[in-house]
Every structure is written in structure tokens, then in C-alpha cells.
Amino acid sequence: MPLQRFRQHPYITALIGVFAAVVLLFLISLLGIILFSESLLRFIVEKKGSDFIGREISINGPANVDWHWGYTHIHAEKLSLKNDALFKDPDMVKIERIDLDFKPLQLLRGKVDISEIKIVAPEIFLERKSKESANWHFPKLFGAEPVDVAAPDNRYEIPIIDHLTITKGHIVFNDAIKKINLDMELDSIDATNDKAADKRADRGYVLSGKGKLQGQDFRIEASGGSLEALRDYSIPFPLRFKLEMGETKVLIDGKFQDPVKLEGVDAVLKIEGESLADIFYLTAIPLPPTPHYTLEGQLTKTGNIWAYRNFKGLVGSSDLSGNLSYDVGGTRGFLTAELTSNVLDAADLGGFIGLSPDTEKSESTKLIPDVPLARERLLATDLDIRLNAAQIEAPNLPFKGMDVRFDLRNGLLKLNPLNLVLADGTVDGSIEIDANPEVPPMTMNLNVRQLNLSQFFKGTRFEATTDGLFGGKVALAGAGASLADVLATSNGELTLIMSGGEISQLLIEASDLDIGQAVPLFFGKDKATRINCGVLHFDVKDGLLASEVFVLDTNDSLLVGDVNINLKDEAIKARLDAKPKDNSLLSLQIPLTIGGTLKDPSVGLDREKTANRSAVAIALGTLITPFASLLAFVEKGDAPNTDCRALIQGVSQP
């Protein structure tokens, strides 16, 4: 087809006309940008931008455009985005200065290609009062329904940026739903589009900042790959993140498939600090106070679930390992964990029962821990933790192992099942604490099964002559802000039962102050006397523990007692009386008394009985002979055997 005929073809002619019109329109627009750039910039930003998002945007300082074919430089000062009218801060975003270089010819290809952005002193205020009220909700953009803080649907929506610098930034984020309060000074962000930086030690992205999170001072440093890797899903983004909050130090080093949304995480997580309880400020997970700890494992994230896999480390002198996951998808977080320890130091467990990690340094005059329960922490999240310890180191206590589940749902904490292995037997049952009321109620139902008496005398001269199994139950209910408060208001019962076994005869004779039989045993070889039965049953009312039955029946003697313990002030008032079953010379038959407190008890003799015996001895010595005074201490052994079956059945009834 000749060229002229080609040009005269109606479709080709129309196409050329349209193309010419587009080129002419572009040239006219380009001329307008060059001649009226500042006015046009303000019009686009303030008028069109405000209409687009439904909230006022303004440039309150100088603004100009420096036009070049290769790049165009935009400079603007004192930009602001108005806040929602329901919030106190007048502006949601304020920026002191922006300098931006972009490649105008790339716009013809439908791309926004920015050579460099420099942002100085940006201030961002994000706030959510309720699910229906958040200042980042823009109805014109997202519709009538409020949305959560969200990243773009994909990284390709992020413009091409070769170099980004942000200095002197300030970010405030307050979320009343998740109870997050962040106030951060962003010292700097420096990011490049150098793909080679992904493989270099210097990285292409660097961030540093400091501030307060949940009222705690913190500092962060982060470095990562290039801005190109940030945009491209096919390139895992390398990220190294370091956070310090007080003595807590967190290091994350690995790769993120999508660092904007924090998805596809596969990184090493190292964390250490003075107490696991401090993790609450970062995660809202209510862990107890502990000694210094160090942990290392693999951090992953799928959807809303963070996981910490195959971690191991030390808490105090105890080894700890396991797996945990934390679901952050709901209003309340939910933590699940399986934890194991080969050797667990009982001192490191103190926080689980209300003890401070430095209990051994405590100068408190009381034995029962009075560390307040952190109600707000128990109400912040839910958890399901299983802890298994193969061996427990507990000086002076016959602990051997432990298996316990901590189940916390909506402020109700259950330790169920609770299994402790000690003295060749077990203590099992459940404990419940409800953190919802201002004064939390607590119930304790424990069963003592087949504990070996000899284990409680391990390391003493009485170990070889003491044997036998005992059991019982503890059922208490009280209310208070600490374990001490709960026990001080508790009601219930405590029972211990023993049938069969042996006990050191020296212990029994000493309790009877039988000088005639105790002295040879003390200087010679101790003997064992058979235990027919032992029954200790206490009734607990309003924190006062009073013995209804206190009997230890042996072949040698019958030991009975009257014991009262006031759990409010831990005062003890007890009287133990041993009656021999055989004729005994020099048996003073003077009951022992126990006073003082649980932490500092004192043992003495019944003063009234001592005075009576002395008076009899003096009288006999005066009227007869000096040797006749010994008759006052000759005791006829006629104590009856206890009806053990009836006694045990009596206290075993519900």
C-alpha cells in the first residue's frame, strides 16, 4: 500500500489524530507544571488530596517544584493532616520538611519512580478508643466500617524508591483495646535500593529509635535488606532487630517474607533479662518474677500465630526448654506452651507461688509469702502452659519432680492438674484464682498420697529409725491480694493420716522428757518404736488453724497435742503431751509448749506442770529422805492403745 494511501485510511487517520491530541495535551500539561508548579502542587495536595481522603491536608510553609527532564525536585515545609474531630490532638500527622526527587518520564510508563525522599521531623499520632473509634479510619477510603492498622495488600503498591531518609521522627500510638502505649523518638531511618546490600554486612536499611512502651524506657536498632527486597514478595527480606528495655535484651536475626505485615518469619530469637515478668511490657504475657534468664530458639509466624520453637536456656540455675505459640488474632492474646526442665531449682520457682526471686535475702519476719498478685496481668491475656520438671533441687525439702498445667482464661487461673513428687509420694490436686473481683478469691484442694516419713528426716540421726507412709488432704478457700492474705481469711480443713511404720524412740522419749530412757539412746544407738497410727486433723476458720485431733500412737508412748496457728500473724500456740505405755523412771511428764511464729518458733516446758513437779519433789525430800524425792518422777506406764481404725475413719469422712 502506498504511503499516501496508508495515511488516508480512515482508521489510521483517527489513530494519528488521537495520538496527536494526547501528545498535545501532555505538552500543555507539562508547560502548566513548569509555569505554575507551586500553585498546582498546593492544589493537588490540599484540594484534591483532602477531597480524596475526607480530611484536611495543608502545606503551611514554602512549597516549590524544580523541574528537570531527568528528575523533578519537590520541596515543601510544614505539612499537616488533620485529626478526626473525636480526638484531642488537632493534627494526626505533621511534617517539618519533605524533599523529593522523582523521574517524570517514568510516569508515562505508569510508574512512580522516586530517586530520593528526605523527611525531616515527622510527627504521627495514632489512637484507638474503641473498636468503632480509631483516628486512622478514613470512611471515604475504606467505607463506613472501621479497619485495623493494616499494611498494603501487596508490596508492589509501594512506589519505587532508590533512597529514603527520615530523621527526628516522633510516633505516638495509644490503643485502648489492646492496652498499648507507645511514645517513640525515631532517631533515623536510612534505606537504599542497592540490591547488593542484601548480601553485605552493612545492609540497605537501618533504623534506630528510643522511647517508652507501656511506660518502660526502651531503645531499638534494626537493619535489613534493600528497598527493592521490601517490595518484592519473591525475595525474603533479611532483618536484624535489637531491642533493649531496662535489663531485657531482645535480638531477632533472620528473614521475613513480608516485613511490612510481619509474615513468613523465620529467625533466631535470643532474649535475656533480670526477670521473665518483665516480658509483660513487650507481649502482655503474665509470667511470674524469676531470677536472671537467657533463652534462644527459632521464631516463626504464620497468620496471627507467633511460635518459639525448640528454645532452650537457663532461668536462674534451672535449665528450661520447650515450644510455645502466641495467637494475637483476638482481642486477648492466647499463649500455649510445653516446657520441660531436667533439673529445676526450687528457688527459681518462687514466683509461681508468690515468692520474690530474692526470697533468700528477704528480711521479712513472716514465712508465708505476701507478694501482691498482679491482677491486671492475669486479665490481659489467656494462656495454657504445661511445665514438667524431672528433678527439683530444694534444700531441706524432699521434692523430686513436678508436672503442672497453668490454665488462664478470662482472668480465671487454674493449676490443674497439679502433681508434685516428693518423699517417694505425691501431692496432687488443683488451685484456682479468680482475678476478676477486686479481692481475688482462691481455692485449694490438694491430696497427699504415700509420703515417706523418713525423707523428712533425711540427713539427720533419726533417718535410719524413721519409716512409714502417710497421706491426707488440704481443702482451703480464702480471698486476698497475696497468698498471705488468702490464708489469713481462709476456711476449710487439713488432715494427715499415718497407719503403720516406725519412728525414732529418742524423739518420742524426748517429747516425754523421759530422762531415764532418752539418755542411753542419745549416747548409744537409737532404736525404733512402731507407729500404730497418727492422725492430725485441723479445722480452719477465718485464718485460725485449730487441731481437732492430734494423736501419734506408738508402742512406746501416746503423743497427744493441742495446736493453734493464727495465719493472720503466723503466731503458734501449741501443747504436746506424751504419755508412756511402760513403767518409766525419771519421766518428768511435763508437756512441751511451742510458741513464737512459723518462721521463728520457740520450744519450752509447761510452767505450771514444772512448778507442780518441783513442789512435790521438795516436799518428799523434806519429809522422807533426799532419795525419796525421786519417787515424784517414777511414772506408771498405763497409757491405753488408741482405737486407730475408729480415729482414722472419723477424720476421713467428707
Instruction: Look at residue 106 and tell me whether its pLDDT is greater than 80.
Output: no
For residue 64, what pLDDT band results from cuts at 50, 70 and 90?
A: confident
pLDDT of residue 261: 73
Enumerate the domain spans of the chain.
1-35, 490-652
Compute the distance between CA of residue 468 and CA of residue 553 in angstroms, rounded to an integer: 13
Compute the distance between CA of residue 319 and CA of residue 125 in angstroms, rounded to an integer: 43
Give tens-digit pLDDT for 112-166. 778 888 999 999 999 999 888 888 888 877 666 655 544 444 444 566 788 889 8
Residues belonging to the chain? 654
pLDDT of residue 199: 53
Compute the distance between CA of residue 383 and CA of residue 276 in angstroms, rounded to an integer: 15
For residue 42, what pLDDT band results from cuts at 50, 70 and 90?
A: confident
Q: Are 56 and 87 in contact (CB under 8 A)?
A: no
Q: Are 291 and 315 in contact (CB under 8 A)?
A: yes
Q: Are strands 133-134 and 160-161 parallel, antiparallel or unpaired?
A: unpaired
Compute the distance between CA of residue 628 and CA of residue 634 in angstroms, rounded to an integer: 11
pLDDT of residue 152: 44
**DSSP string covering 21-75:** HHHHHHHHHHHHHHHSHHHHHHIIIIIIHHHHHTS-EEE-S-EEEE--SS-EEEE
- How many other CB atoms sit within 10 Å of the CB of residue 472? 21
Give tens-digit pLDDT for 219-263. 999 888 877 777 777 778 888 999 999 899 999 999 988 776 778
Output the CA torsion sign for 616, 618, 623, 628. Answer: positive
Task: Quote the percentage of the chain above a pLDDT of 90.
Answer: 30
Give tens-digit pLDDT for 620-654. 444 444 444 433 444 445 556 776 777 777 776 65
Compute the distance between CA of residue 596 and CA of residue 573 in angstroms, rounded to an integer: 8
pTM comes to 0.72
